[in-house]
């Protein structure tokens, strides 16, 4: 069953697949950003870092290592000093360091930029580690499995907020003819029902989000 079906089971027909897709991306990205590293590790993807660095613009880095030895994150000035053989900050083979520059991650050891390993998750929910989730998707990769229902709930809220906003905008276009007044009253009843549902979904989301963030594996 697709995420679109899951969302429309909660809030009814959306009628805008692009909105559903963007809402899933936004809701999932918020979850990834807020999730503690230890909870993301089980979903992590491993990739190599070359001596020319690794582009991490779309990645949330969880761990960097060199030959199985964890690397320490350092600031840019320390990173420069770590490659200076005369500096007390030079990184040794048993104490590799890493730093960020221009949305790339670099490992420094023995006076040079070096190779290593990076564990990360994509910053947005994906179906295969690189392809963004969409309305017709049915599963995610490198995303906490226990957070998928939370993503659907968050996306449902975003979609419902847009539907309410669109209905309120539509109400402003009605004139004062008898027919338009009746239509406006019907629309307002729909809006009120959606607003009640929205408040309920937000309360459920807030509670579920706090439980999820506060729980460790």
Nearest CA-CA partner of 24 in 3, 9, 2, 1: 3
pLDDT in tens, 90-117: 777 788 999 999 999 999 987 788 999 9
Which pTM does this prediction carry?
0.88
Q: How far apart, in whole angstroms, are the C-alpha atoms of residue 46 and residue 118?
A: 6
Alpha-carbon distance values, 180 to 115, 188, 191, 195 (Å): 69, 12, 16, 22
Q: What is the mean pLDDT of residues 16-43?
A: 97
pLDDT of res. 128: 95
H or E element: which one contains 16? none
pLDDT in tens, 126-149: 999 999 999 999 999 999 999 999
pLDDT of res. 155: 98
Q: Is the pLDDT of residue 76 over 80?
A: yes
Confidence of residue 179 (pLDDT cuts 50, 70, 90): low
Identify which has the larger pLDDT, 173 or 152: 152
């Amino acid at each position: 069953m697709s995420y679109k079906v899951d969302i429309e089971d909660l809030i009814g027909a959306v009628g805008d697949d692009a909105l559903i897709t963007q809402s899933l991306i936004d809701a999932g990205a918020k979850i990834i950003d807020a999730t503690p590293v230890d909870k993301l590790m089980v979903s992590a993807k491993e990739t190599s870092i070359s001596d020319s660095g690794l582009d991490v613009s779309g990645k949330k880095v969880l761990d960097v290592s060199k030959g199985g030895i964890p690397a320490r994150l350092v600031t840019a000035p320390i990173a420069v000093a770590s490659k200076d053989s005369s500096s007390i900050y030079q990184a040794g083979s048993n104490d590799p360091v890493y730093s960020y520059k221009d949305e790339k991650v670099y490992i420094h050891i023995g006076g040079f930029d070096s190779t290593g390993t990076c564990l990360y998750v994509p910053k947005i929910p994906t179906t295969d580690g690189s392809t963004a989730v969409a309305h017709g998707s049915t599963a995610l990769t490198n995303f906490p499995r226990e957070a998928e229902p939370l993503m659907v709930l968050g996306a449902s809220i975003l979609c419902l907020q847009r539907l309410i906003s669109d209905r309120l905008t539509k109400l402003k276009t009605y004139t004062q003819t008898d027919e338009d007044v009746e239509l406006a009253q019907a629309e307002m009843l729909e809006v009120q029902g959606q607003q009640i549902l929205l408040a309920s979904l937000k309360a459920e989301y807030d509670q579920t989000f706090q439980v999820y963030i506060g729980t460790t594996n």
